[in-house]
Amino acid sequence: MTSPTAGARPDEVRRHNRTALLRRLHVDGPSTRASLAAELGLNRSTIKALVDGLAETGVVAERVPAQRSGAGRPSLLVLPQPHAAVVLAIDIRVEQVAMAMVGLGGEIIGRDSWNLHTRTRDPREVITHIVDSAKLLTDELDLQPVAVGVSVSGVVRRSDGWVHEAPNLHWTNVALGERLSAVMGLPVQVGNDAELGALAEHVRGAARGASDMVYISADVGVGGGVISNGMPLRGTGGYVGELGHMVVRPGGLRCYCGCEGCWETEVGEAALCRALALPENASRGAVVAELRSLAADPDSVMHRLGEFTEWLAVGLVTVVNMLGPELVVLGDLFTALPEPVVAEVRAVVQRRSLVSRAVGGTRIVSSPLGRDAKLVGAAEAAFEPVLGIV
C-alpha cells in the first residue's frame, strides 16, 4: 500500500507563492498587482498580502506609473528594490577577471576587473585577489552581498564548485566553490562559463521566451550551454557543454585535450587569428578591431573568412541536429563576426540540417549581452537560492 501524500502546510504555500512573485519581479521587472495575480494564478487578496509583506521589509516598493492611461485611480506598479538583496558575480576568464555587484532585478550596481598574466593564474593568487577586490568593492558601495556566483572557463561540478579541469588557466582539481565560500563566509555557486552564458541569455538576453536554445561562445576555446524545455541541461555531475571538443576534422590540428581536429581548433580564437592573418597570440582588442575593419569591406569578408565560416557552420549543423534548438545564440568573440559571416552560417545550417528544416529554420543570432553574458549568468546562479529566503 502507498502512504498518503502529505498536504503542504500554509507556511510552505506562502513561501512558495512569495518566491514565485519575487522571481517574477526579479526577472521581468515592475508589474501591477492585478497583472501579478493573473500571471501567477493567485487571487488578489493573496497578492496583496505578499506585496504588503515584501514592502514592509523593503524588498519591493510601489509607485505611480510615469505614464497613466484612462480615468480613475491608477494601478500602482510593484518594483523590486535593487539594494534589498545584492549578489557578487565573478567571471574568471583566461586573461581577465571581471566582478560586479548585482542587485535584485538584475541591476549592476558596481564593477571591477583586472588582467591575469601567467604568473597570476595560480588558483591561490586568483582567490586572494578576488577576496581583496570584493572587500574594496563592498566598502566603496557600502553594500554586503548575500551570495556569490562564479563563472569559470573549465569543466565544473555544479554541486560544489569543484573545477575538474580548466586547461587554459592550467587548473586541475581546484575546490573553487569550497575555498571561496570558506574565506568569504557566503554561499558560492560556481558554473562553467558557457552554461552560465546560456542562463544569462535565457533570463535576460536573446533567448527570453525560448524553451530550447544553445549558447555557443568563443574565447581562447569554444564552449556551449544548453537550455532544454526551459531548464539548463547539465549532464552527469553537472559536466556538460564541451561542444568545442567535437571532432569535426579528423587528422586536423592537435588539441590540448589530446584529440585532433576538435571544433575549437577550427573556430577558436587562434583559428580566427590565422584567418585574419594575425599572430595567434594577438590581443583580443586587435582581433575585434580587425573584424570591425573587415565588416566595413563586405566584398572581402568571405574571401578572408570563408574557411572559418565553413567550419563554424559544420559544427553548428551537428549541434542543431543533436539538440534541436529553436535558437542558437553566438556569444563572446563570435559577437564581433561580420553579419555576412553569420548570414552564411544561417544559410548553411538551414540547408544541411534535417532538424532545422523540420522546424522551419533554427534561428541563429548574436548575443546582445556581449562580454557581460557570463557575469550576468553568474549573478543569476547566485540569485537562484537567494530568492527563496529574501
Contacts of 258 (CB under 8 A, 6+ apart): none
Domain locations in the chain as residue ranges:
10-80, 84-196+374-386, 208-368
Task: Spell out the CATH class of 84-196+374-386.
Answer: alpha beta
Instruction: Give the other-Cβ count within 10 Å of 151's Cβ.
Output: 31
Q: Do 84-196+374-386 and 208-368 have matching folds?
A: yes
Cell of 201: 541569455
Reported for 23-28, long-range contacts at CB under 8 A and 24+ positions apart, including other chains, are 23/387, 25/60, 25/78, 25/79, 25/80, 25/104, 25/105, 26/80, 26/104, 26/105, 26/106, 26/383, 26/387, 27/106, 27/203, 27/204
- Averaged pLDDT of the chain: 92
For 239-252, give the DSSP string: ----GGGSB-STT-
Beta strands in 128-258 (DSSP E): 147-152, 155-157, 162-166, 171-175, 188-192, 213-218, 222-228, 231-232
pLDDT in tens, 132-152: 999 999 999 999 999 999 999
Alpha-helix residue ranges (DSSP H) falling in 212-283:
263-267, 269-275
Report CA Rg, the chain: 23
Which superfamily, per CATH, for 208-368?
ATPase, nucleotide binding domain (3.30.420.40)
Phi, psi of 154 (to 5 degrees): -175, -175
pLDDT in tens, 319-354: 999 999 999 999 999 999 999 999 999 999 999 999
pLDDT band at 120 (very low <50, low <70, confident <90, very high): confident
pLDDT band at 295 (very low <50, low <70, confident <90, very high): confident
Task: Report pTM.
Answer: 0.92
pLDDT band at 1 (very low <50, low <70, confident <90, very high): very low
Cell of 329: 545564440
Q: Which CATH architecture has domain 10-80?
A: Orthogonal Bundle (1.10)
pLDDT at residue 18 above 90?
A: yes
Residue 338 and residue 374 in contact, taking contact as beta carbons nearer than 8 Å: no
DSSP single-letter state for residue 15: H
pLDDT in tens, 24-66: 999 999 999 999 999 999 999 999 999 999 999 999 999 988 7
Residue 90 and residue 150 in contact, taking contact as beta carbons nearer than 8 Å: yes
CA 280 to chain centre: 27
